[in-house]
Amino acid sequence: MGFTLLMNFYSVLLGLIVGSFANVCIYRIPLGKSIVRPPSSCPQCGNRVRFYDNIPLISYMLLRGRCRVCGQRIPLVYPLVEGLFGLLSLVLFSRYGVGFQYILFLIFAGALIVISFIDFRHQIIPDVLSLPGIAAGLAVTAVYQWAVTGRDVLEGLNLTRFAGGSAPYFMMGEITWLDSLLGIVAGGGSLFLVAVAFEYLTGKEGMGGGDIKLLAMIGAWLGWQSLIPVVLMSSFSGALVGSVYLLLSGKGLRVKIPFGPFLALGALLYLFFGVTITNTYFRFFA
């Protein structure tokens, strides 16, 4: 019991550290800045953030949400992202344990979160995130397809873990490199056709190129089988949130609501609950 709690603590700690780096990506990538240099600094006064003021969550609380030098408020998004990554890491570790799946899904889900915050704030999805994400998804799937041929290798890497006899979680090795490739083509291609049709009928751009590449990235990691559930869940959540926002803002249809965060949400829901959703569907409708 003590060892399990310790490992869970380490998984949260890893998530907080990754979340701190994710904040750097969210802030700098849209500005075209390096995510490595210079070291972290206050966005308001430009003073360098010391290491003891850069401890995830703790520093924010000790500083009461303000810069030590200029006293300006630190945006709440910083601890929010760090806490979100800590929780995400804990959930993934609880499901997959110590193994490559835990790390790779943390990277994939983390990229979705970074993309979501950037798209929500700037209404762009940088190619520097989506295009490498597509290539990585295809490469990871191909490697795991090769690894799945050895049952002993899978067990040694903790890739055959189940949850208390219930339906297995989504696992790498369940989809082939061909499923991934079809996911890229079908994901990107379907949204591209929707964008072309919408622009032809209305004369307005309704779907950005970033959304097209993002769905291709999701297809690369989760396979073509995930695309319909992901699109349905993202469309439903987007319509729901968008309707509420339009009513509360009073700005009507003049407001552009980014679709990327909802695609990311649909992908995360499929990652965590895809098997359950699929089994439930076939149980009641097949």
SS3 of 171-204: the string is CCCCCCHHHHHHHHHHHHHHHHHHHHHHHHHHCC
pLDDT at 281 over 80: no
Q: How confident is the model at residue 53 (pLDDT cuts 50, 70, 90)?
A: confident
Q: Which of 63, 96, 129 represents a domain boundary (last residue)?
A: 96
> Please, what sign has the CA dihedral across residues 283, 94, 165, 174?
positive
111 with 72, same domain: the answer is no
User: Averaged over 11-22, what is the pLDDT?
Assistant: 96
pLDDT of residue 115: 97
171 with 136, same domain: the answer is yes
Q: Could you list the residue range(s) of the whole structural domain that residue 199 is in?
A: 98-286
The pTM (predicted TM-score) of the whole model is: 0.87
52 with 127, same domain: the answer is no
User: Averaged over 227-253, what is the pLDDT?
Assistant: 83
Q: How confident is the model at residue 36 (pLDDT cuts 50, 70, 90)?
A: confident
186 with 72, same domain: the answer is no
Q: How many helices (H) and strands (E) does the chain have?
A: 10, 0
pLDDT of residue 168: 58
CB 113 within 8 A of CB 197: no
152 with 276, same domain: the answer is yes
272 with 254, same domain: the answer is yes
The more confidently predicted of residues 57 and 45 is: 57
Q: How confident is the model at residue 162 (pLDDT cuts 50, 70, 90)?
A: very low
State how far the Cα of 266 lies from the Cα of 236, in Å rounded to an integer: 9
151 with 178, same domain: the answer is yes
Q: How confident is the model at residue 47 (pLDDT cuts 50, 70, 90)?
A: confident
Question: Encoding tokens for residue 144?
Answer: 């795991």
Note the pLDDT tens digit of each residue in 77-106: 999 999 999 999 999 999 988 888 899 999
Q: How confident is the model at residue 161 (pLDDT cuts 50, 70, 90)?
A: very low
Q: How confident is the model at residue 150 (pLDDT cuts 50, 70, 90)?
A: low
pLDDT at 158 over 70: no
pLDDT at 164 over 80: no
102 with 67, same domain: the answer is no
pLDDT at 283 over 80: no
pLDDT of residue 163: 35
State how far the Cα of 269 lies from the Cα of 265, in Å rounded to an integer: 6
62 with 182, same domain: the answer is no
182 with 196, same domain: the answer is yes
User: Averaged over 124-146, what is the pLDDT?
Assistant: 92
The more confidently predicted of residues 217 and 170 is: 217
- Of 135, 269, 157, give the one whose Cα is nearest residue 213: 135
User: Averaged over 106-126, what is the pLDDT?
Assistant: 96
Note the pLDDT tens digit of each residue in 170-216: 777 778 899 999 999 999 998 888 888 877 777 776 677 899 999 99
Does the bond joining 56 to the residue before it have cis omega, within 30 degrees of 0? no
86 with 116, same domain: the answer is no
Q: Which of 72, 96, 120 represents a domain boundary (last residue)?
A: 96
pLDDT of residue 39: 84
Query: How many structural domains comprise the chain?
Result: 2
pLDDT of residue 276: 78
56 with 191, same domain: the answer is no
Q: Which of 96, 123, 153 represents a domain boundary (last residue)?
A: 96
